[in-house]
Structure 1
Amino acid sequence: MDVSVIIVNYKTKELTHNCIDSVFQNTNDIEFEVILVDNNSRDGSAEFFSKDNRIKFVESHSNLGFGGANNLGYSHSLGDYIFCLNSDTILFENSIKILFDYYKKYAEKKKIGVLGAFMVDNNHTYNGSGHLLPRLSDYSNLILNKLMRRSNIPFPIFPEGVDCVEVECVTGADLFLSRKLVEEVGGLFDPAIFMYNEESELQLRIRKQKYHNYVIKSTSIIHLQGATLTAISNQISSEKYYNQLRMNIKSRNYMLKKHYSFIWRSFYYILRFICYAPIVLLGKESCSRKKEIIKILLRNE
């Protein structure tokens, strides 16, 4: 088996079905399998996908989070290469074969860790294929961007005529890597991370082993979520935003403690607090919720 495509479904039945269809409609000249993990959706997804004979359906009876569900799918995989693909992506060309061929051709020369495709929105406009790993400039740059009203620019930037760009971290929507590498770095995703930052933690481990992560422009994949986030000021009254912020910070704290020094983390947390505290305090949520977020921002564990 060349490639195992792992897709996680959580209450996105229609999106997931479209994603699966796009994989089978556009993938050829390669031996592959599609493993779908349903993360206890309870919306009819299990009954629907269990009847699809094209896929290997794995049902989880609890919500394992994104990383945990991918790990479950990985335990059922047979491929020499693993392709973790978000359910909100659509393939419109033979992307899996292109990624597979590129990885095999340049694996040793470029010492490839994770490989990703050129991600576009529904209008085929580039919307970002990677991001940076944590750095002390994260929040100072965010503050400056807000003050100067700078818009987000999709990352990475591809110079004219360049097909492959090295990135610190490939976006979690499409992660292509070898089974051999997964085993070398101690597994796919850290099971301690329920959601957010799991792809960063994985690629930190990969980079520590002196591998490099790349995005190639020779194949594109539609990512329906897009890369442009709603401004924080428009989200702060949303309960969903608070829940996402809490999970994001908790998983980020865990990753930082695992991979960064105490002194580095301390400076990082101070900058994070300076950036977020005014936004939280000026929000329209209850005092108890504000206190909860402030406590998470201050937590150095």
Structure 2
Amino acid sequence: MKAPVRVSFVIPNWNHKQLLDECIISIKALTGNFEKEIIVIDNASEDGSAEFVKDAHPSVICHCNDTNTGYAKATNLGVSLSTGQVIFLLNNDIRLFPECLQGLFDCLSNNPRAGAAAPLLYYPDGRFQISCRRFPSLAALILEQFGVFSIGRFRKWKLTQEEHICFTEVPQPMASALLIRRECWEEVGPLDEGFPIFFNDVDWCYRLYKDTNYTIALCHNSRAIHHEGVSVNRLGLRKKINFYKGLIGFYRKHWANLLERKDTI
């Protein structure tokens, strides 16, 4: 028999023991012939998350940071410790449906150009979650603020629910749940740690399209529950400050390319 594909699940965690437990349980319940390597990078949680994982899930690799290093650095560390042919970036507030991994893997297998694949996300109450965006050009952000869907070739930043259902290729899904070929990760490079909380996933997806021939697939037969923002919401006002710092940093890094970019999606 063909050896199962090894999938490395990389989960940064900060003070969400219960949700992390649910995330790990959902990984263990995934269907398909896969070897699962689960890596948790705990960012100095104070709720006993690390101790709980070591006791309740002894097969999980749990690395404990002395301080909260941020999402990007924790993710990069987790990937550096991983050995799988594919990498599954996960937030600790994600709960995967059993068929999710198989669907995402089939998306990659059936589309050699796809370097990464994302599932459709839903809120815990079953509502559809807008999880994919175009890159944040100035025009896209202005249209978003005024509630205008499009003017000419310009489109607003967030994709509509209809576009999520119609599109099989997307510019930038949230990295809350993102399956990535190992070779794609290595070609694009790690997350930019200059974006510790926000816009590291935007920057990574932007570099994928700018610097490689890969695309990102949106897999319609893969689903996950996402509690969205349970960690960053604890930041209060700092959440908004860090969001705009990330946006400004993204523009400073990519402004010349953003001015020239002509999105077709």
Give the structure-2-normalised TM-score. 0.83
Structure with more strand by fraction: 2
Structure 1 CA distance for aligned equivalents of residues 257 and 164 of structure 2: 37
How far the C-alpha of 1:138 sits from its partner, in A, is: 3.3
Name the residue aligned to 2:145: 143
Query: 1:30 is matched by which residue type in structure 2?
Result: F
Query: 1:24 is matched by which residue type in structure 2?
Result: K
Aligned-pair RMSD on alpha carbons?
A: 2.6
Structure 1 CA distance for aligned equivalents of residues 43 and 33 of structure 2: 31
Question: 1:170 aligned to 2:173?
Answer: yes
Name the residue aligned to 2:214: 211
Paired residues for 1:56-67 under 5 Å:
56-67=61-72
Question: 1:11 aligned to 2:11?
Answer: no
Name the residue aligned to 1:20: 24
Name the residue aligned to 1:277: none
How far the C-alpha of 1:244 sits from its partner, in A, is: 1.1
C-alpha change, 1:143 and 1:159, in structure 2 (3 Å) is closer
4+ runs deviating over 3 angstroms = 152-156, 238-241, 262-265
Structure 2 CA distance for aligned equivalents of residues 176 and 47 of structure 1: 27
CA contact (8 A) 1:19 1:89 kept: yes
Paired residues for 1:48-127 under 5 Å:
48-51=52-55, 52-107=57-112, 111-127=113-129
Structure 2 CA distance for aligned equivalents of residues 159 and 78 of structure 1: 32
CA contact (8 A) 1:103 1:115 kept: yes
Match among 136, 153, 162 for residue 157 of structure 1 = 162
How far the C-alpha of 1:66 sits from its partner, in A, is: 0.8
Name the residue aligned to 1:251: 246
Q: Secondary structure at the match of 2:21?
A: helix
How far the C-alpha of 1:212 sits from its partner, in A, is: 1.5
C-alpha change, 1:168 and 1:156, in structure 2 (3 Å) is farther
Structure 1 CA distance for aligned equivalents of residues 142 and 246 of structure 2: 21
CA contact (8 A) 1:39 1:61 kept: yes
Query: 1:258 is matched by which residue type in structure 2?
Result: K
- Cα deviation, 1:184-224, whole Å, max 9, x if unaligned, reads 12x22112211101110000110012321121111111112
How far the C-alpha of 1:4 sits from its partner, in A, is: 0.4
Query: 1:203 is matched by which residue type in structure 2?
Result: C
- Cα deviation, 1:23-80, whole Å, max 9, x if unaligned, reads 1023441112111110111221121112221211111111111111111111110001
CA contact (8 A) 2:137 2:258 kept: no
- Cα deviation, 1:93-116, whole Å, max 9, x if unaligned, reads 221122112212212xxx113210
Identity value in percent: 26
Structure 2 CA distance for aligned equivalents of residues 91 and 263 of structure 1: 34
How far the C-alpha of 1:145 sits from its partner, in A, is: 2.5
C-alpha change, 1:240 and 1:136, in structure 2 (3 Å) is same
Query: 2:179 is matched by which residue type in structure 1?
Result: F
Query: 1:172 is matched by which residue type in structure 2?
Result: A
Q: Matched residue pairs, number?
A: 243
C-alpha change, 1:219 and 1:143, in structure 2 (3 Å) is closer
Give the structure-1-normalised TM-score. 0.74
Name the residue aligned to 1:179: 182
CA contact (8 A) 1:117 1:129 kept: no
Name the residue aligned to 1:288: none
Question: 1:261 aligned to 2:263?
Answer: no
C-alpha change, 1:252 and 1:48, in structure 2 (3 Å) is same
Structure 2 CA distance for aligned equivalents of residues 127 and 213 of structure 1: 18
Structure 1 unaligned runs (5+)?
147-151, 227-237, 266-301
